[in-house]
Amino acid sequence: MSANLAETIQKNLGYPELKKINLNTDMVESLDKDQEVPLLGQATIPAILVSIYKYTRSDKGAENVLCGDISTNWLNEFLSDHKKETIEKVAAYVSTSEANAYESMKNVADEAVNLIRSSNPLTVNDVKDLLAAEKNNMLLFLPPLLQMGEIINDNTLDDDTHKMEGPVSSLMNALGNIFSGSEKEERK
């Protein structure tokens, strides 16, 4: 997969281009707040991707994404007990109905699984590595008002230091991964 997951999903589902979060204001850069469609993609795509990331940290979750039943309701699977709260937050952020938010989130979840599978991961670890490599990119687009880290119990998602870009930030994130033990190291 040449483009990242967020951009590929955005294009495949026909959403407007995702905008990065301005870390100084915690707002989406240059996005028209009066239009539902740009906000819907901006909210649903990164929210679902971070939920998939969290889900695939377990071998069972990654295996299910890799070779589970394709007709699975992936939104239910990824968010389980947090689905209602996430749908409510997305709907409120976008100023849309919960039914509309649910439909968008379900489409994003289904498309994400299709894209992950089409990237030909061979093992559970390949799925984990693919999503771990995408994590920092997902966070660049994740609106803080959704509070996804709090919802899915992963405080690293709401930490602005993981959303910064540039050589110094990349170095700091790399050092953080070394000291916390990278995922590949944990498997050894």
* Model pLDDT for residues 30-81, shown as the tens digit of each residue: 555 555 556 899 999 999 999 999 999 999 999 999 999 989 999 999 999 9
pLDDT, residue 67, reads 93
Tell whether the torsion through CA atoms of 145, 146, 151 and 152 is positive or negative: negative
Question: What is the C-alpha separation between 146 and 125, in angstroms, rounded?
Answer: 29
Confidence (pTM): 0.80
Please provide the size of the chain in residues: 188
Domain coordinates in residue numbering, the chain: 5-187
Helix (H) or strand (E) holding 26: none
In which element (H, E) is residue 88 found? Answer: helix 83-94
User: Given this model, what pLDDT does residue 156 score?
Assistant: 74
> In angstroms, how far is the first alpha carbon of the chain from the final one?
27
Instruction: Please report which helix (H) or strand (E) contains residue 108, including its range.
Output: helix 98-118
pLDDT for the residue 82: 93
pLDDT tens across 101-144, in order?
A: 999 999 999 999 999 999 988 899 999 999 999 998 899 999 98
Judged by DSSP in three states, 5 sits in helix
